[in-house]
Amino acid sequence: MIDIKLIRENKDKVKENIKKKFQNDKLYLVDEIYNLDITYREIKQKADNLRSDKNKTSDKIGSYMRDKKIEEANKLKGQVQHYNTEIEALEKEEIKLEQDIRNKMMLIPQIIHESVPLGKNDAENVEIERFGEPVIPEYEIPYHADILERIAGLDKESSGRTSGSGFYYLIGDAARLHSAMISYARDFMIDKGFTYCIPPFMIRSDVVTGVMSFTEMENMMYKIENEDLYLIGTSEHSIIGRYKDQIIKEESLPITLTSYSPCFRKEVGAHGIEERGIYRVHQFEKQEIVVLCNEKDHLDWYNKMWSYTVEFFRSLDIPVRTLECCSGDLADLKVKSCDVEAWSPRQQKYFEVGSCSTLGDAQARRLGIRTKSDQGTKYVYTLNNTILATPRGLIAFLENNLNQDGSINVPKALRPYMGNKEIIKP
């Protein structure tokens, strides 16, 4: 959510940003908010003037009562009652207008960074850099479900009976690999100086609307029936929500956390849920990193954060590349974002395994997360990045570490988490 002052003082900038995001259907909201804000401030000023007049009249009543001028005091009491009635009516109108403005403001996208390339959708994202040489082996790389079947590692038939499509059982070495990657990602970020955290896996609606747009919420979140609780789609939601309505001392910034959680997503959309594989599923696990910092530091942290994901995957012998997300591919709260994609030797192309974003003060403004210094109080900046989301990360690992005989190499970094096993045999 942007600052209302931006609409008051520079409507054209807000409209231009909306156009850059190809959301022209929202342009009318800027003028609506602008006019509602004028009315709101007029009513607020009128109510403030009435309160001032009421206080002056109350002072007179007190003076008359002290001077035993009872009749004059009683006459003014009726006037005070009239003020009260008017003020009450104006306060109700204030609350209604304030809520209406806030609801509309929640639909206005965050001002994107000037470096963000213009484009309508993810097809127009821009490659930044490649890390590691993508290898196309002379032998065929099977579909990941078939690789897992060879090591007796995947059971989707049973999960179909227990839970439906989009769920899975990981078995044996596949399950162990999955857990090893998560544990390694945890320790990888702890070694970078991040504090480890396991958050609640359910959050209230006021936190959900604080960390994401309404569209994302509708497409992603599972709601708990008869409860004001939602299953998280990523641990970022809980981690940022932890600081709701808090004032953080400036000397405590930056706050750097790495968090583990299962993640639950409806995955609504044209892409659908895979029947055989586990690339797009309703339930997965993530090691996430979240940073709260000052405005001046947020781009430095942004560049550090995505580089950690690159370093992590390269340590597992997986080639990756980074893509700058274009304007039309940015969620409404994001200022700037990039994806990390892993090489798929089977498909001979890259696929997404992580995403890094700076959201400016959008989440902090919605949730009331501020920092206090000698210069006053201001909103913090929030960033998030995926170090590992798996089983998607597991797919990248399997394809890039598969041998011709069907065995799977275990890189040195993972061996301590795999009982020092160097190879997994079919």
Least confident piece of the model among 14-23, 72-81, 193-202, 302-311: 72-81
C-alpha closest to that of 55 among 78, 93, 74, 83: 83
Token pair, residue 196, equals 């480890």
Token pair, residue 414, equals 């993972």
Residue 270 pLDDT: 45
Residue 235 pLDDT: 94
**Which contiguous run of DSSP H or E holds residue 177?**
helix 172-190
pLDDT tens column, 144-178? 999 999 999 999 999 999 999 889 999 999 999 99
- For 257, residues 6+ apart whose C-beta sits below 8 A from its C-beta are 194, 195, 196, 197, 239, 289, 290, 291
pTM of the entire structure? 0.90
Least confident piece of the model among 164-173, 268-277, 320-329, 353-362: 268-277
Contact 263, 389 (CB under 8 A): yes
Token pair, residue 123, equals 């097809």
C-alpha closest to that of 204 among 234, 236, 238: 238
pLDDT tens column, 105-153? 999 999 999 999 999 999 999 999 999 999 999 999 999 999 999 999 9
Contact 98, 90 (CB under 8 A): no
Radius of gyration over every alpha carbon of the chain, rounded to an integer in angstroms = 27
CA distance 343 to 167: 24
Token pair, residue 76, equals 């003014």
Token pair, residue 426, equals 């079919």
N-term to C-term CA, the chain: 52
Can you tell me the mean pLDDT for 363-389? Answer: 94
pLDDT tens column, 255-307? 999 999 999 998 755 455 566 889 989 999 999 999 999 999 999 999 999 99
Q: Domains in the chain, ordered, with CATH? A: 4-105 (1.10.287.40), 122-424 (3.30.930.10)
CA distance 8 to 30: 10
**Torsional class of 371: left (φ above 0), alpha (ψ -120 to 50), beta (otherwise):** beta
Can you tell me the mean pLDDT for 398-426? Answer: 96
Token pair, residue 135, equals 């290898």
**pLDDT confidence tier of residue 60, bands split at 50, 70 and 90:** confident
Token pair, residue 70, equals 């009872």
- Report the percent of the chain where pLDDT is more than 70: 98
